[in-house]
Amino acid sequence: MLLGMVGPWQILLILAFLGLGVILPILALVDIVRHEFKGNNKIIWVLIVIFFNIFGSILYFAMGRQQRIDAV
């Protein structure tokens, strides 16, 4: 009965939010694991992304990528 009340736009919005909540943290975690950081920054960013899913991922992409050590 519940699915009879939900239209296609609502289903697309639900899938978009679920995708954002799953794909964005996975991309952030993969990026964190692949690169080197100074000190304990890698562990801190992993914990932030795990505990604060979407917000932590956005925060990492906005601020954390600048803290990576670039390979020469």
> Quick one: CA dihedral 30, 33, 37, 40, positive or negative?
positive
Instruction: Read off the pLDDT of residues 37-69 as tens digits, 9 standing for 90 and up.
Output: 988 999 999 999 999 999 999 999 999 988 888
φ, ψ of residue 36 to 5 degrees: the values are -95, 150
Model-level pTM? 0.76
Domain that holds residue 37: 26-72
Instruction: Read off the pLDDT of residues 4-34 as tens digits, 9 standing for 90 and up.
Output: 677 788 888 888 888 888 999 999 999 999 9
Q: Residue 65 falls within a domain, yes or no?
A: yes
Can you give the pLDDT at residue 15?
Answer: 86
Q: Residue 4 falls within a domain, yes or no?
A: no
Q: Residue 35 falls within a domain, yes or no?
A: yes
d(CA 31, CA 37): 11
Q: Residue 59 falls within a domain, yes or no?
A: yes
Q: How many C-beta atoms surround the C-beta of residue 29 within 10 A?
A: 17
State how many domains the chain has: 1
Q: Residue 57 falls within a domain, yes or no?
A: yes
d(CA 64, CA 56): 10
Nearest to 32 by CA among 44, 42, 17: 42
